[in-house]
Amino acid sequence: MVAENLISSAVLPLRTSDTGKMALASMENFNVRHLPIVNDRQLLGVISEHDLLIHNTNEPIGSYQLSLLHAFVKKNDHHYEVMRLLAEHQLTIVPVVDESGDYIGMISLEDVLNYFAKTAAFSDSGSIVVLEFQQRNYSLAEIARLVEAEGATILSTFVSSKPESSIVEVTLKINRQDIHNILSAFERFGYVIKASFNEEEYLESLQERYDALMSYLNV
């Protein structure tokens, strides 16, 4: 999946002639805290709610100093790059440009969440297993071999670690609801099972977090 496929037409960009008040009203209408400023097809930057509030909101936003001039992705960038920008700059939208640098649309945080919610990692039935071990011992091939030896398949993996730690945490989505044999295999090979969830427990937890995030975005 590339950025171009995540573009939404539900949110409209701002123009330099729009006032701060108009920009704040647009952010409220679209439930975002950032919007791109576009003249014709030229992307001038991203304006944040904070940028608006420190200026005279009766003035055109073209006179404002922007804090986010280079927060955008190209249309063929992977969606991981979209996620990186969202996290790095704490954005609620990411503008998308073509090969010439012209603006073609934007991707909202909600668009990204909805995309992942529809992928196999979330929508297919199964279970979640979280493993923890030393980074030097991490081998996805061995983990996959143990899962597949029990007749199951890994649908997705997510690896996380902290810079100051040598501990790696791997979250697996497995296409089986009954994973007792898989957990036993992990234990036999010395893996630390930090957590495991069947589909019902996982979906309830995911739904609670998704609802909480949507409530936060709508504030």
Q: In terms of pLDDT, which residue wins out, 168 or 181?
A: 181
Q: What is the DSSP string of the chain?
A: -BGGGG-BSSS--B-TTSBHHHHHHHHHHHT-SEEEEEETTEEEEEEEHHHHHTS-TTSBGGGSPPSBSS--EETTSBHHHHHHHHHHTT-SEEEEE-TTSBEEEEEEHHHHHHHHHTSHHHHS--EEEEEEEEGGG--HHHHHHHHHHTT--EEEEEEEE-TT--EEEEEEEES-S--HHHHHHHHHTT-EEEEEE-HHHHHHHHHHHHHHHHHHHT-
Q: What is the pLDDT of residue 198?
A: 76
Q: What is the pTM of this model?
A: 0.67
Q: What is the pLDDT of residue 8?
A: 85
Q: Is the pLDDT of residue 199 over 70?
A: no
CA dist 145 and 166 (Å) reads: 24
Domain positions in the chain are 3-116, 121-212
**Residue 66's pLDDT band (boundaries 50, 70, 90)?**
confident
Tell me the average pLDDT across 181-195: 93
Q: What is the pLDDT of residue 170?
A: 92
Q: Is the pLDDT of residue 43 over 70?
A: yes
- In this structure, of 39-43, 146-150, 164-168, 185-189, the range with the lowest mean pLDDT score is 164-168
- State the CATH architecture for 3-116: Roll (3.10)
Q: Is the pLDDT of residue 46 over 90?
A: yes
Asked if residue 105 lies in contact with residue 9, where contact means CB atoms within 8 angstroms, the answer is yes
121-212 has CATH 3.40.50.620 classification? no
